[in-house]
Copies of this chain bind each other. A is one copy, B any other.
């Protein structure tokens, strides 16, 4: 039994951003998707947990990319489980080019919650999951706690709409990533690579909820909070690295 799981992708135009690269939110979507497929294949996925009244909830993502897959490029995502404990599971990812060379890594933390109480659930009912742990190296970890910016330099308001809602009636995890990055303009991403991106999901938001998106830039690091009043919905931190060689401009 293989403990890792790989899906190949070819980046279509529809999945690209303005820089003709895999959009970070689309990457997050693909990380969630492959986690779901892998967990299902090893029988600790949504279906099995649902029968036990338990739900996997994504708690944290950390992504480090040397570069992003480009338009029409074939790339792969490989995932494996780093650890389990009573309430959490850590899962790693390798993003590789068509020759299998690493172009990025990701680390995620998933929490098991009780479907009804929304409180942490006990994963030990699934038996010993440690046999599913894989020791591939992954050079990206969950960083320090992300705090709400104290002196935000960009603040926008947003109300969640029908198109932001996922099949669980909450705001889509990838949509938060878009809101975080939408604090910047196109020129920022034309001239900079989103090298390291971290997001912590704190509270679920619903259709019609209004939030404030607050960002603060300190050197090459930007910290962003999506706040519903005084409640953090999610907190993100990322670094921007100047692109080399030429920035990507309008094409076609």
Contact (Cβ within 8 A) B163 A185? no
CB within 8 Å for A251 and B167 given contacts A14-B32, A32-B14, A207-B18: yes
Contact (Cβ within 8 A) A162 B174? no
Contact (Cβ within 8 A) A18 B167? yes
Residue of B nearest to A47 (CB): B72
- The distance in angstroms between the C-alpha atoms of A18 and B178, with both chains bound, is 19
Most chain B CB atoms below 10 A, which of A71, A167, A169: A167
What string of 1s and 0s marks CB contacts (under 8 Å) between A147-173 and chain B?
A: 000000000000001110111110010
In the complex, chain B residues whose CB is within 8 Å of the CB of A29? 14
Count of residues in A whose CB is under 8 Å from the partner chain: 41
Asked if A107 lies at the interface with its beta carbon under 8 angstroms from chain B, I say no
In the complex, chain B residues whose CB is within 8 Å of the CB of A207? 18, 185-186
Residue of B nearest to A174 (CB): B14
Residue of B nearest to A186 (CB): B207
Task: Kindly identify, within residues 30 to 78 of chain A, every residue whose CB is under 8 Å from any CB belonging to chain B.
Answer: 32-33, 36, 46, 50, 55, 71
CB within 8 Å for A18 and B166 given contacts A161-B182, A252-B115: yes
In the complex, chain B residues whose CB is within 8 Å of the CB of A182? 161-163
* Residues of chain A at the chain B interface (Cβ within 8 Å): 12-14, 16-18, 20, 23, 25, 29, 32-33, 36, 46, 50, 55, 71, 115, 161-163, 165-169, 172, 174, 178-179, 181-182, 184-186, 189, 207-208, 250-252
